[in-house]
Structure 1
Amino acid sequence: MFAARQAVGLFQRRAFSSTAANASKVAILGAAGGIGQPLSLLLKLNPRVSELALYDIVGAPGVAADISHVNTKSTVKGYGKGEAKEALKGSEIVLIPAGVPRKPGMTRDDLFNTNASIVRDLAKECAEACPDASILIIANPVNSTVPITAEVFKSKGVYNPKKLFGVTTLDVVRASRFISELKKTDPANESIVVVGGHSGATIVPLLSQSGSELKGEQLDEYVKRVQFGGDEVVKAKDGKGSATLSMAMAGARFAESLLKAAQGQKGVIEPTFVDSPLYKESHGVTYFASNVELGPNGVEKIHPVGDVTEYEQKLLDVCLKDLKGNIEKGEKFVKENP
């Protein structure tokens, strides 16, 4: 028992910076799913979270009862079908991992028809119950589900582009882990810049801006692994799941960064897929993932891509073409299915 308490304490010290003077209510929509459960546990361990609201159409009260026994101060409550607004009321941050997972051979875009409707309906609940909350979209395909959420909020007259985020943190986590394996370094000391979107060829790692260099076939293989790393997990799970645990870790990391910034910490930067006037003007895409400085009101500053190599520019050209189509698909869905 003593060893278990030590382990929990050690995890908390490593995963989260420090106990905050301020604390926040966080809601998770889709809390009983493959991502939702480990995400709920990680946020229960976060000292910056004072109240955790877990919603799903089935199973959330059970998840809430389970993690409520974890010995941290935050309170936890589960909500079932028809109780989304109650769960969302007063939330400062909402994470949406709800949706169906990928199966073998599926791309994130293949998930569109099912997940688009789920995200649209949950976005409506958020727009009505907590329009000022920061909304973190995890449900794939993020390149389309973020625009879907934005269009719903616009239709309700409550859209704030500074508070809508597509969680692309896992792309950076993978890129950093994979380069560390090649360089034989500590992955904690690697931080690869990844821009674009969150699906296949729209994911663009920029090694030239990250103090690392690969060439030829090794570079091609590295880029492909970063772009399609999720396929490794789907294959390894033999079609019975996708990247749930690593995605939960990435979602918890982004939520922690947002909480730190909201509670006054300066210089908090995370990669994220956001409404980006900078890239709309320069590249013709409304949403783009890049390093974003976070603040008390959400997006504080969007960092430009900067100089890239000829190889990286070719990757960006493909990314932008695909990304534009993904975004338009999401916007079109809401117009045709309000």
Structure 2
Amino acid sequence: MFAARQAFSAAQRRAFSSTARQASKVTVLGAAGGIGQPLSLLLKLNPRVSQLALYDIRGGPGVAADVGHINTKSEVKGYDPTPSGLKECLEGSDVVLIPAGVPRKPGMTRDDLFNTNASIVRDLAKASAESAPEANICIISNPVNSTVPITAEVFKAAGVYNPKRIFGVTTLDVVRASRFISQIKGTDPASEIVTVVGGHSGATIVPLLSQSGFELKGEQLDEYVRRVQFGGDEVVQAKGGAGSATLSMAMAGARFAESLLKAAQGQKGVVEPCFVESPLYKDKGCDWFASNVELGPNGVEKIHPVGKITEYEQKLLDVCLGDLAKNIKKGVDFVKANP
């Protein structure tokens, strides 16, 4: 941040200072969980956040008291786990992040979490539609391929649906793809940008390594793709059933929130991969798709096409679309059956 600001002209620095002072209320629903706590910490450190609102079914005020002692300017408040507490927490929010839900255990896929997390996300989406209908809603709770369509259906039922304001956070897939290629090539992972498209579960995650300027072949390519697609399993296994990817997911969620705030405060050219309502593969039954998305003051500004890919990547994409269409339908059907 400091180096970037040094490079700004005096006028740009004044503009940055002005936008950075804009009031931005960021809300975390599920703030006391494995993702929620480090996510809340990272948001407390973000100078673009002026108000941080934390909610959970238990422990929200405690997390707020803890991170609230950190000497940054934002004000932090934790809310009681009551309907009135949730309503007050959400009111006036610019960005709402939802990591609430149960984590994966060894042998579980994201889809195995569906029955529990679908109900949690549905109920939090109802509260968000009522109390923060104009906020950017960022879904972290898995399975994202289904929980994001659930959120959209709830907002539609409430008459406040805006496709530019609902996001599935797939940033961790890009973070992993960048880290893993840097380990192979011996480069700086922070400088690597690997486009990842599709969804956020197993074979629906499609890294487009050919667009990054690198080329892998054979078993090395297969292993790279497998690791990007199933990197979460490494964490679940390494934690011995005690949790899933929480710290890296918190970092990815904080990065996405930062991008939304930068775009809202006037910065141009902010592009992040995310799972949004997209025209790219609607003809394949995929109303939702993750690709590079340019963000703006109103949320989604422009959805970038997938672009030129290799025959190998096309095969991955074909598998992705088949699975993704089923995941999306599962979310939509859940809301129809469980309004």
Give your verdict on TM over 0.5. yes
Instruction: Determine if contact 2:280/2:289 at 8 Å carries over to the other structure.
Output: no
Cα offset for 1:80? 2.2
Q: Please report how far the alpha carbon of residue 279 of structure 1 lies from its aligned counterpart in structure 2 after TM superposition.
A: 2.5
> 5 Å matches for 1:89-104?
89-104=91-106
Secondary structure at the residue paired with 1:70? coil
Could you tell me which amino acid in structure 1 is paired with residue 40 of structure 2? S
Deviation at 1:280, TM superposition (A): 1.2
User: What is the TM-score of this pair, normalised by structure 1?
Assistant: 0.94
| Equivalent residue in structure 2 for 1:176, among 175, 178, 186 | 178
Query: What SS is found at the alignment partner of 1:209?
Result: helix
Q: Letter of the aligned partner of 2:28 in structure 1?
A: I
Q: Given residue 67 of structure 2, which amino acid in structure 1 is its aligned partner?
A: I
Structure 1 runs of 4+ off > 2 angstroms? none
Maintained 8 Å contact 2:29/2:100: yes
In structure 1, C-alpha distance between the alignment counterparts of 2:74 and 2:211, rounded to whole Å:
39
Partner of 2:333: 332
1:48-67 pair list within 5 angstroms: 48-67=48-67
Letter matched to residue 54 of structure 2: L
Counterparts of 1:117-266 in structure 2 under 5 Å?
117-266=119-268
1:22 CA displacement: 1.4
* Cα deviation 1:1-58 (Å, max 9, x = unaligned): xxxxxxxx99xx9xxx976131300100000000000000000000000000000010
Q: Report deviation, 1:284.
A: 3.2
Q: Provide the alpha-carbon RMSD of the alignment.
A: 1.4
Distance in 1, matches of 2:70 and 2:214, equals 40
1:306 matched to 2:271: no
One-letter amino acid of the structure 2 residue matched with residue 113 of structure 1: N
Q: CA separation in 2, counterparts of 1:278 and 1:324?
A: 13
- Secondary structure in structure 1 of the residue aligned to 2:63: helix
Q: What is the SS of the residue equivalent to 1:49?
A: coil
Quote the offset at 1:277 in angstroms. 2.0
User: Which stretches in structure 2 are left out of the alignment for 5+ residues?
Assistant: 6-12
Q: Return the alpha-carbon distance in structure 2 between the equivalents of residues 153 and 319 of structure 1.
A: 26
d(CA) in 1 for partners of 2:306, 2:272: 14
Return the alpha-carbon distance in structure 1 between the equivalents of residues 267 and 285 of structure 2: 33
Which is worse superposed, 266-275 or 205-214?
205-214
Q: One-letter code of the match for 1:81?
A: P
Task: Report the Cα distance in structure 1 between the residues aligned to 2:215 and 2:138, rounded to whole angstroms.
Answer: 32
Q: Identity over aligned residues, as a percent? A: 80
Aligned to 2:285: 284
| Rounded Cα–Cα distance in structure 2 between residues aligned with 1:309 and 1:35 | 35
How far apart are the structure 2 equivalents of 1:266 and 1:223? 32
Distance in 2 separating the partners of 1:135 and 1:55: 15
Task: Indicate the SS of the match to 1:214.
Answer: coil
**Aligned 1:76-115 pairs, distance under 5 A:** 76-82=76-82, 83-115=85-117
- 2:10 corresponds to which residue? none
Aligned to 1:31: 31
Q: Contact (CA 8 Å) 2:164, 2:298: kept in 1 or not?
A: yes
Equivalent pair of 2:279/2:287 in contact (CA under 8 Å): yes
Is there any run of 5+ residues in structure 1 with no aligned partner, and where?
1-8
- Count the aligned residue pairs: 324
SS at structure 1 position matched to 2:53? strand
Per-residue CA deviation, residues 246-302 of structure 1 (Å, 9 max, x unaligned), is 000000000000000000000000000000023214x43100000000000000000
Q: Distance in 2 between matches of 1:189 and 1:35?
A: 25
Q: Give a deviation string over 1:112-166, Cα, whole Å, max 9, x none.
A: 0000000000000000001000000000000000000000000000000000000
